[in-house]
Amino acid sequence: MRTLCVTGGNGLLGMKLAGLASRSFRVFSADVQEGPSLELPNTEYVRTDVVDPAQVEGLLLRAKPEAVFHTAAFTDVDGCEIHRERAWSVNVTGTENVASACRRHGVRMIHLSTDYVFDGAAGPYSETDAPNPVSHYGRTKLESERIVQSLLPVALIARTMVLYGYAAGARDNFVTWLVAALGRRTPVRIVTDQYGHPTLADDLARALMLLFERNAAGILHAAGAEWLNRFEFAVKAAEVFGLDSSLITPTTSDAFKQPAPRPLRSGLKTDKLRGAFGFIFSAVDEGLRTVRIQMEEAGILK
């Protein structure tokens, strides 16, 4: 049976990828926790810290995968700004460890990156636009891209953004956090000046599997179909989930005094993905309805 490996296997995207891949492949899911957040068929969990090259080497020797989907990362943008050494260790050194092991063993690599490699001055961005990160998180992810490209010229680097969805055991994302807050009738303030393409995790997992099967290489943007700001996204979520949108107050990024600057006018153009591979992401309302159904089936929503 063909074998794949997913780092960051306890994250939202990692679980979606493992669940999808396990239908046709044996999957090795790797993360730093003691055990898996979700038990999946044809999937073996291996506790692995990508910062430790010996653990990464052991993972590949054990799994002998055809490809590694590298989703493990320190993605707390403000946390990266404050804990810079840790961010570099996980996002840069960890990625280098995975890429180096893949090179030694002749394993393909699919590396996840982000719109935060851009400054957000004039998005949405295409793959040929020049990166210019404004946060430490963005700088670590850009450096990780450069390392992967230098070690594995035929690797795939997929940039995405504003990932949302539901998976049991995954930490909150914008949508699950918002639904929980509005469900408690807690007022929330959401910014109107941060634009981008919200991306359904299920869609991204399908896109990555397609790109793997089609031997895609280089940098590709993989993000949702609609460009809107966070406030507009929040209002749509409230409507789809039948929650009170009047609890959502518009504000701007300056009001939060966050440690890390954000790329405000961001977004990722997906013309290349659509044209070369025929993949189209869900519209926001459709994606939100998918999440609602999944949460209802899991008993999260009443």
- Kindly name the residue from 45, 116, 125, 137 that is annotated as catalytic: 137
E strand or H helix at 163, and its extent? strand 163-164
Q: Does the residue 243 lie in any domain?
A: no
Amino acid identity for residue 166 in this structure: Y
The interaxial angle of helices 174-183 and 284-297, nearest 10 deg, is 60
Q: Does the residue 296 lie in any domain?
A: no
The interaxial angle of helices 201-213 and 284-297, nearest 10 deg, is 100
Q: What φ, ψ does residue 146 adopt, rounded to 5°?
A: -65, -40
Please compute the mean of the pLDDT values over residues 33-57 and round it to a whole number: 96
Using one digit for the tens of pLDDT, what is the confidence trace for 196-212? 999 999 999 999 999 99
Residue with tokens 């291996």, as numbered in its chain: 46
Q: Is the pLDDT of residue 67 over 80?
A: yes
Q: Does the residue 47 lie in any domain?
A: yes
Using one digit for the tens of pLDDT, what is the confidence trace for 229-256? 999 999 999 999 999 999 999 999 999 9
- In this prediction, residue 301 carries a pLDDT of 87
Is there a catalytic annotation at residue 116?
no
Q: Does the residue 24 lie in any domain?
A: yes
Q: Is the pLDDT of residue 302 over 90?
A: no
Using one digit for the tens of pLDDT, what is the confidence trace for 69-122? 999 999 999 999 999 999 999 999 999 999 999 999 999 999 999 999 999 999
Q: Does the residue 244 lie in any domain?
A: no
What is the pLDDT confidence band of residue 63, given thresholds at 50, 70 and 90? Answer: very high
Q: Does the residue 109 lie in any domain?
A: yes
With a pLDDT cut of 90, the percent of the chain lying above it is 98
Q: Does the residue 254 lie in any domain?
A: no
Say how many domains are in the chain: 1
* DSSP single-letter state for residue 157: E
Q: Does the residue 64 lie in any domain?
A: yes
CA distance 280 to 298: 27
What's the domain range around 113?
Answer: 3-163+200-221
Please compute the mean of the pLDDT values over residues 156-168 and round it to a whole number: 98
**CATH number where 133 lies:** 3.40.50.720
- In this prediction, residue 24 carries a pLDDT of 96
What is the pLDDT confidence band of residue 1, given thresholds at 50, 70 and 90? Answer: confident
- In this prediction, residue 53 carries a pLDDT of 98
**Which ranges in the chain belong to alpha helices (H)?**
12-21, 53-63, 77-82, 84-88, 94-105, 136-151, 174-183, 201-213, 230-240, 271-277, 284-297
